[in-house]
Amino acid sequence: MSRLLVIDSLNLFIRNYVVKPYISKDGVPIGGVLGYLQSLQMLVREMKPTEVVICWDAPGGSVRRKQKLKEYKAGRKPIRLNRSFRNLTEEQERENKTWQTGKVLELLNGLPVIQLMVEGIEADDIIAYVAQHEKYKGWEHIIVSSDKDFFQLCTGLTTVYRPIQKKLMTHINITEEHGVHPNNFALARSMVGDKSDNIIGIPRIGLKTVAKTFPFLREEKSATIDDLMNHCNAMPKKSKSIASILENRSLIEENYSLMQLYVPDISPIAAQKISYNINEFEPEFNRTEFITMLARDGFHNVRLDTLLSMMKLIVNNSNTKNTCTSKAAVL
């Protein structure tokens, strides 16, 4: 079976940028770049993908979500480097983060992968769209991210690999651990909210309470907000949590529209451009040129033999004939 590896790229980059203490010979922090390449090497070694699609958040994030919720992702603390580099000012750190991100994009352009970035759209929606794309129908999909938002996309063929926990999440273990089936995960979380995205939930309602209150959410059948309300109204005794849920239908509806990925927020024009990049892609790789790029940027000491071998294997296994490179497309 063909296997698609879909990477939440900024999520993977930030994790390495923050914790990897690597510096260049000139004393410049480069942990985001080297850590990213090492993580990618591990992923392709372990997952052995047929194709790799790397999805980036557009600068500024989701326009639609910010129009719906002005406070969406507001108030986040600045992302700081490893403590080893706390001698840098915040401005220097921002400049370094921008530089490292650009280097990752540039280096990935030398690998046989598809990079996607859509103006005004988050990587979440791009990933959801790619996982549902007609080209990859019948493929196994592995989404790489620490974000629980992707749990809702898990099916028999789609799983989520969480790099920090080094754990593969399936529709089975998600249901077992959380008491909620992926088909109902966005609905459950719309009651709980998401502090990391500044999406406020119903007070004193957690995922465990939701799973206990609505046992039918663990079923494969997709439930609706009406189902939640009907279940609450049918209870002879209304606890405080039940009363809160009934009082906050509009909040649940708003949160669900922000959190659901079953229908990705992709415009028809953007979908057409993404599809073109996916359908016309033919993997191409020049090992010598890539090694030269690494040496030019001072990254020649990193051991990436496995990554380069796996990239060559992706090219060799490709059945397509058109020539296309992996330029990061801002669509």
Query: What's this model's pTM, rounded to 2 decimal places?
Result: 0.92
pLDDT of 89 reads: 83
Domain boundary among the residues 234, 259, 284 is at 259
Report DSSP letters for 74-121, one per residue.
TTPPPP---GGGTTS-HHHHHHHHHHHHHHHHHHHTTSS-EEEE-TT-
Question: Any idea what the Cα angle at residue 139 is, between residues 136 and 141, rounded to 5°?
Answer: 90
Whether residues 297 and 212 share a domain: the answer is no
**Do residue 16 and residue 98 come from a single domain?**
yes
- At 175, list the tokens: 């249901």
Examine the domain organization and report whether 112 and 196 are in the same domain: no
Give the number of other CB atoms < 10 A from CB of residue 93: 18
> Do residues 216 and 316 share a domain?
no
Phi, psi for 227 (deg, rounded to 5): -60, -40
What's the CA angle centered on 59, arms 57 and 63, to 5 degrees? 85
Q: How far is CA 87 from CA 25, 33, 34, 57, in A?
A: 17, 20, 21, 29
**Vertex 138, ends 273 and 283: CA angle to 5°?**
50
Instruction: Specify the number of domains making up the chain.
Output: 2
Domain that holds residue 112: 3-132+264-330
Looking at the structure, do residues 201 and 290 belong to the same domain, yes or no? no
Dump pLDDT digits (tens) for 95-147.
Answer: 999 999 999 999 999 999 999 999 999 999 999 999 999 999 999 999 999 99
Looking at the fold, whether 48 and 88 belong to one and the same domain comes out as: yes
Pair (121, 7) in one structural domain: yes
Q: What is the pLDDT of residues 44-98, one digit of tens each?
A: 999 999 999 999 999 888 888 888 888 888 777 767 776 666 678 888 888 999 9
Neighbours of 168 (CB within 10 A): 13
The closest of 30, 28, 33, 29 to 13, measured between CA atoms, is 33
Tell me whether residue 148 is in a domain. no
Mean of the pLDDT values across residues 227-234? Answer: 97
In a domain, 75, yes or no: yes
Mean pLDDT of all residues belonging to the chain: 91
Q: Which residue carries 């990925």 as its tokens?
A: 261
Last residue of a domain, one of 259, 288, 308: 259
The residue type at 268: P
Classified as helix, coil or strand, 235 is coil
